[in-house]
A and B are shown apart, each in its own frame.
Chain A
Amino acid sequence: MAPSGTVADPPPSSATDSFNSGASEENDIRPFFVLHKASSGSLQGKSTGTVRSKRTIESPTPKIAKKSEVESAEEEDGQFLSNRRLKIFETVWSKIEKTIENVLRDSNSKIFNGIYDWIRESFESIRSYGALSLSEAVRSYPVLTQASSKQLFTALVLTRNLEMVDDLLTFEELNLHLKSQGCHVAKLSSMDFSAKNGVGGCLRGLLRQFVMPTLDVADVTTLASWYRENENHKNPVVIIVDDTERCCGSVLSDLILILSEWAVKVPIFLIMGVSTAHDAPRKILSVNALQRLCASRFTLSSPAERMDAVLEAVFLKPCSGFTVSHKVALFMRSYFLCQDGTLTSFVRTLKIACLQHFSSEPLSIMLEHFCQDRSNQLTGEGNGLLTESTMKHAFDLPSVTRNKITRSTCELLPQFLLDLQRMPNPWSIVVLCIYEAGKFDKLRLLDIFCETLDPEARYLKYFSPSAIVNCQSQVSGRSVIRQVLRKLRDLSPSQWRSLLKRWENLSAEFSEINDKVMELHPLKRSVEAAGQRQGLPNSPKKHASRSHTKLEKELSAMADKVAAVIEFMLREYMKPVESVPFHEILCFKNVDKLQSALLGDPRGRIQSDLLEAHNILHCICCSQRGTTLLPSMHDTSILYTLAQEHADVINLHDWYQSFKTILVSRSSKTKQNSKTCSKSKKRKDRCEEPEAPAEALIQARFCRAVMELQIAGLIRLPSKRRPDFVQRVAFGS
């Protein structure tokens, strides 16, 4: 970046001149320019759409222009709908976001309180050294010699997460939590601990956050005198460093050394986020600094645990109504497990899914009602949502036509919608019940959720008698439900007790399931009795005594019975959302769209653009003749296809010659043909193949194509060592 100097330069462009004729070329070489300013209409919240710039793609046919005129009448309607959609999207998403925030806050609150208690206790112990007079407290001497008075209290917060991105919010919350308890908190990140700015940089950062934002000195005495001001010294000072591993070790060590010298005068507590292992500080800090640390350890919940909590709150508890299909859930799961592993990315995927849902499904605006209180009944006609066109759309939905629901049953629509609204309740109870059973085997809710969403209900096959017999011998295929069923046989009586209790709580509001759970109680009692007789309630598989066989029998009967209850729940209530009519209103299904918006694949796609250009351009001339290279093809496309035949380096001379052969030989052939055959003449007209181009033109085209490949990053230009070769950079996608 160019230095800006002390004189503020005028921006090289202003808004007015960007519309002048000929300005566009000038704008191309300006570092930046204002294309246009907001139209005045937008200031009042209306769109006028009158500003037209020069830079528009001209429509090749008048047809399209005409069409757009017709469309303009509909534009206003569209504008209204899109505003409405946006508003509802915001409502829905903010509801989901808030739910997630609350879940995360809850999952962290225990640790946060622990940290605060630790700070309070340590603060009191420092204060017990005795009060310092003002003059003592703000100067750097006399140097305290006791080793204990130079200890800097440090909390290592283990994030159990290699990616920092999930923990940004956690530390932000910690910051707020400690502030609300009265602590003075400053947050530093690895950017403040750069070798370039040294320890002065991070001291400045600290002072800016504590003393005043415009301060530009780096002096601990300023901090000390600030701490003595007013009532400041009644509360501890906390410094949060969220990504310790990324900090410059020497700078952090220096800061620790400086602060520890002042530890009694300014009681500072350092909170370091550690993502790798608890010995990470040993790897980055100097020995001197390490000796000054008096460290405690706190551990946050793992991303997978948080993920399950989020999943439960968003999809299984009443939240926004928005949900995803089996395929989308599988994609999100594999993206989380195989590619990213951060909760942040999962949430972002969800947001993109939600956005895509709103931008592709007109009926998605009905989610507004799901989002509101349950007491608010869905009456589509009442609020004018169900216009003729939306009704038509609603009855054209695949789930509706599949279930043979026609317009004649139109009056049933509100009933269907009510069902839809109620539908997830028993469904989520079943999923949570299975999750509870799976917890004994440390199964993830994410896996259970994905499997139970299956619209074809393939999980039911595990309940056929043969599957139950074989369930222990068959290992192939990973099914969570089968794992749950298998695990049931290993549960101890006490585990049974806790499982039934949790099931009871979960199904409390749904009597049909609750009754079935209640039926298990007599069995539970007999299992418990058998366990007590044996005297070892927690270890079901020990001695082969008589009471033990009795217990085993009871346990096995219990497992069979519970498996039957699970089967009943799955069969009766596990209606996956995708099998319900009108589910398209709240369920996002287009996994390809989601994938392409979330994961751009420039490496693969740009190469396939070049190698299969005719598929994108849809031109008649290039796609006809299979894989042979034609002069009518895009130059860069030809050149890149030729490059595939070369090794990791390409001889420029050879490359040029083959490029030239393609351009010249074909053209001349066509020329010869056109003299003799009228058919090929026609083709010539259609393809508009140029005559053999001049040498200079071929060379210029070659240069241009090489340049474009260079811009795409597919080749590297000749080096001084190898002046006649370019290097291939990408090999396949």
Chain B
Amino acid sequence: MEDVENIEEDECGFSRNYFLAKELGGSSKRSAHKLSDINIVDEQELRETALNIETKHEKEISELLNDYKTMYPKWVFELRCGFGLLMYGFGSKKLLIEDFASASLTEYSVVVINGYLPSVNLKQVLLALADLLSELLKCRRKSSGSLSKGQETFPSRSIDEILSFLHGSQSEDKDCFICVVVHNIDGPALRDPESQQTLAQLASCSHIRIIASIDHVNAPLLWDKKMVHKQFNWLWHHVPTFAPYKVECVFFPLVLAQGSTAQTAKTAAIVLQSLTPNAQNVFKILAEYQLSHPDEDGMPTDDLYSASRERFFVSSQVTLNSHLTEFKDHELVKTKRNSDGQECLNIPLSADALRQLLLDLNQ
């Protein structure tokens, strides 16, 4: 009964805070100050300074991280018992989790997924995991001297097939698993229901254990009960680190430097790297065209199609369209109509940035 009262009290507290805030907004006039009233320093300078901010309480933070080290054996035990670990609390947990994996999970292969990136291809992750597992199973069979039953070659066709390979048979050694670290399982690339479903299915595989971190206060809303109880099987760990979100921040705009473009060249490169080589090549054609025709509105879609098809980068209009959708989703490409009414594709980057991007891609 007490719990019910507590819950109700919490809810009251929540709504009281909410209405107080709302009331405050209504009663007193909103401040009319403009952001432009601040003498904002040059954006380039702001970015450079932001990179070199000294971390406060460095000593305390490292002590905190060291305190967590005593938990490592417990975490390993929990993983071996078949649970998934979910780390939350303020501060970047990237270093903590990777340290845990490097120090205590040496017996198991560890794959890290950086969920904070704007785009992660889960199928590639699954393929790599299947690769690792088949290698592991082969080694085990060799060391145990038993003959393989020819199950080590995994089907590389659909996600379902890879997942069923990773699931393996229940009778096999329970302690044979690969650990998958997912930084920011609530990150932008993994936030969609399909990715979460795939991850949940992955987590329920018998040869996989997941260690994930969340940062968003509403992250649990990503999962339904089946995912929580049957698939992820989370054990929550509150591990605030107060470590700066250095890598995680790269993909967020600076609030005082709105409408910035400098960042997009870098983020564009990262997005492109996660795409297939064919998609990258299509993008290159577009970029080269834009550099050689600086005065035009962009490359007509039909021209892009014929150029890509000539070089065997796409086989049909449908494939090209799927690449273009991907580009548009990540704001790599914009469409507009030129004076002839043709639909043209344009990369919203300066010529210099574009050249740099091409160089990065060709490396």
* Among candidates A164, A342, A602, residue contacting B219 with C-beta atoms closer than 8 Å: A602
In the complex, are the beta carbons of B108 and A38 less than 8 A apart?
Answer: yes
Give the shortest distance, in Å, between B333 (CB) and chain A (any CB). Answer: 14
* Among candidates A32, A165, A338, A653, residue contacting B128 with C-beta atoms closer than 8 Å: A32
Q: Does B359 contact A (CB under 8 A)?
A: no
Give the shortest distance, in Å, between A204 (CB) and chain B (any CB). Answer: 12
* Among candidates B28, B46, B86, B256, residue contacting A600 with C-beta atoms closer than 8 Å: B86
In A231-273, the 8 Å CB interface with B consists of none
Give the shortest distance, in Å, between A464 (CB) and chain B (any CB). Answer: 23
Q: Does A305 contact B (CB under 8 A)?
A: no
Using a CB–CB cutoff of 8 Å, the interface residues on chain B facing chain A are 1, 3-4, 7, 10, 13-14, 16-18, 20-26, 28, 30-31, 33-35, 37-41, 45-46, 49-50, 53-54, 56-57, 59-66, 69, 73-74, 76-78, 80-81, 83, 86, 88-91, 94-96, 98-99, 101-103, 106-114, 117, 119-125, 127-128, 131-132, 135-136, 139-140, 143, 156, 174, 178, 181, 189, 192, 194-195, 214-220, 225-226, 229-230, 233-238, 240, 242, 244-245, 247-250, 252-258, 270, 273-279, 315, 319, 322-323, 326
In the complex, are the beta carbons of B46 and A57 less than 8 A apart?
Answer: no
* Among candidates A634, A712, A723, residue contacting B56 with C-beta atoms closer than 8 Å: A634
In the complex, are the beta carbons of B106 and A703 less than 8 A apart?
Answer: no
Given A617-B60, A726-B255, the answer on whether A609 and B53 have CB atoms closer than 8 Å is no
In the complex, are the beta carbons of B62 and A36 less than 8 A apart?
Answer: no
Give the shortest distance, in Å, between A80 (CB) and chain B (any CB). Answer: 13
Given A11-B124, A29-B117, A699-B41, the answer on whether A34 and B109 have CB atoms closer than 8 Å is yes
Please list the 9 inter-chain residue pairs (A to B) with the smallest Cβ-Cβ separation, ordered nearest first: A600-B236, A647-B25, A42-B107, A653-B33, A732-B17, A713-B216, A53-B102, A647-B24, A609-B90
Interchain CA distance A461-B33 in the complex, whole Å: 67
* Among candidates A7, A38, A344, A651, residue contacting B31 with C-beta atoms closer than 8 Å: A651
In A318-353, the 8 Å CB interface with B consists of 331, 334, 338, 340, 342, 344-345, 348, 352
Q: Which residues of A contact B229 (CB under 8 A)?
A: 165, 342, 344-345, 348
Q: Which residues of A contact B217 (CB under 8 A)?
A: 602-603, 606-607, 712-714, 729-730
In the complex, are the beta carbons of A31 and B114 less than 8 A apart?
Answer: yes
Given A29-B114, A695-B41, the answer on whether A35 and B98 have CB atoms closer than 8 Å is yes
Q: Which residues of A contact B123 (CB under 8 A)?
A: 1, 4
Interchain CA distance A444-B252 in the complex, whole Å: 53
List 18 interface pairs A-B (beta carbons < 8 Å), by A numbering.
A29-B247, A31-B117, A35-B98, A36-B101, A36-B102, A37-B135, A41-B107, A60-B59, A345-B229, A355-B81, A597-B236, A605-B89, A634-B242, A635-B56, A703-B254, A704-B53, A704-B249, A707-B255
* Among candidates B39, B56, B96, residue contacting A57 with C-beta atoms closer than 8 Å: B96
Q: Which residues of B contact A726 (CB under 8 A)?
A: 255
* Among candidates A8, A358, A619, A710, residue contacting B156 with C-beta atoms closer than 8 Å: A8
Interchain CA distance A93-B276 in the complex, whole Å: 45
* Among candidates A34, A38, A703, residue contacting B257 with C-beta atoms closer than 8 Å: A703
Q: Which residues of A contact B91 (CB under 8 A)?
A: 609
Over the window 84-96 of chain A, the binary record of Cβ atoms lying under 8 Å from chain B Cβ atoms (1 yes, 0 no) is 0110011001000
- Of A44-52, A100-108, A133-141, A386-394, the stretch lying at the interface with chain B is A44-52
Q: Does A669 contact B (CB under 8 A)?
A: no
* Among candidates B18, B59, B102, residue contacting A35 with C-beta atoms closer than 8 Å: B102
Over the window 563-595 of chain A, the binary record of Cβ atoms lying under 8 Å from chain B Cβ atoms (1 yes, 0 no) is 000000000000000000000000000000000
CB-nearest residue of chain B relative to A622? B57
Q: Does A168 contact B (CB under 8 A)?
A: yes
Interchain CA distance A82-B247 in the complex, whole Å: 36
Interchain CA distance A11-B277 in the complex, whole Å: 12
Interchain CA distance A714-B39 in the complex, whole Å: 26
In the complex, are the beta carbons of B277 and A9 less than 8 A apart?
Answer: yes
Q: Does A534 contact B (CB under 8 A)?
A: no
Using a CB–CB cutoff of 8 Å, the interface residues on chain A facing chain B are 1-9, 11-12, 27-44, 47-53, 55-60, 64, 78, 82, 85-86, 89-90, 93, 163-165, 168, 331, 334, 338, 340, 342, 344-345, 348, 352, 355, 358-359, 478, 596-600, 602-603, 605-607, 609-610, 613, 616-619, 632-636, 646-649, 651-654, 656-657, 690, 695-697, 699-704, 706-708, 710-714, 717-718, 723-726, 728-733
* Among candidates A33, A51, A634, A718, residue contacting B106 with C-beta atoms closer than 8 Å: A51
Give the shortest distance, in Å, between A161 (CB) and chain B (any CB). Answer: 11
CB-nearest residue of chain B relative to A349? B229
In the complex, are the beta carbons of A47 and B107 less than 8 A apart?
Answer: yes
Interchain CA distance A541-B57 in the complex, whole Å: 77
CB-nearest residue of chain A relative to B252? A707
Given A165-B230, A703-B257, A706-B255, the answer on whether A610 and B90 have CB atoms closer than 8 Å is yes
Interchain CA distance A706-B111 in the complex, whole Å: 31
CB-nearest residue of chain A relative to B42? A696
In the complex, are the beta carbons of A338 and B4 less than 8 A apart?
Answer: yes
Given A59-B66, A703-B256, A732-B17, the answer on whether A695 and B3 have CB atoms closer than 8 Å is no
CB-nearest residue of chain A relative to B8? A338
* Among candidates A5, A359, A647, residue contacting B78 with C-beta atoms closer than 8 Å: A359
Q: Which residues of B contact A164 (CB under 8 A)?
A: 225-226
Q: Which residues of A contact B230 (CB under 8 A)?
A: 165, 168, 344
Give the shortest distance, in Å, between A611 (CB) and chain B (any CB). Answer: 10
Q: Which residues of A contact B140 (CB under 8 A)?
A: 43
Q: Which residues of B contact A352 (CB under 8 A)?
A: 83, 235
In the complex, are the beta carbons of B112 and A338 less than 8 A apart?
Answer: no
Q: Which residues of A contact B53 (CB under 8 A)?
A: 697, 700-701, 704
In the complex, are the beta carbons of A342 and B225 less than 8 A apart?
Answer: yes
In the complex, are the beta carbons of A606 and B89 less than 8 A apart?
Answer: yes
Given A38-B106, A57-B65, A711-B215, 7 other A-B residues pairs in contact with their CB atoms under 8 A:
A29-B270, A35-B98, A57-B96, A600-B86, A605-B238, A606-B217, A648-B25
Give the shortest distance, in Å, between A700 (CB) and chain B (any CB). Answer: 4
Interchain CA distance A385-B63 in the complex, whole Å: 36
Interchain CA distance A43-B215 in the complex, whole Å: 35
Q: Which residues of B contact A725 (CB under 8 A)?
A: 30
Give the shortest distance, in Å, between B98 (CB) and chain A (any CB). Answer: 4
CB-nearest residue of chain B relative to A35? B110
In the complex, are the beta carbons of B81 and A653 less than 8 A apart?
Answer: no
In the complex, are the beta carbons of A11 and B128 less than 8 A apart?
Answer: yes
Give the shortest distance, in Å, between A313 (CB) and chain B (any CB). Answer: 20
In the complex, are the beta carbons of A647 and B41 less than 8 A apart?
Answer: no
Given A55-B99, A647-B22, the answer on whether A32 and B46 have CB atoms closer than 8 Å is no
CB-nearest residue of chain B relative to A620? B60
Give the shortest distance, in Å, between A311 (CB) and chain B (any CB). Answer: 18
In the complex, are the beta carbons of A707 and B245 less than 8 A apart?
Answer: yes
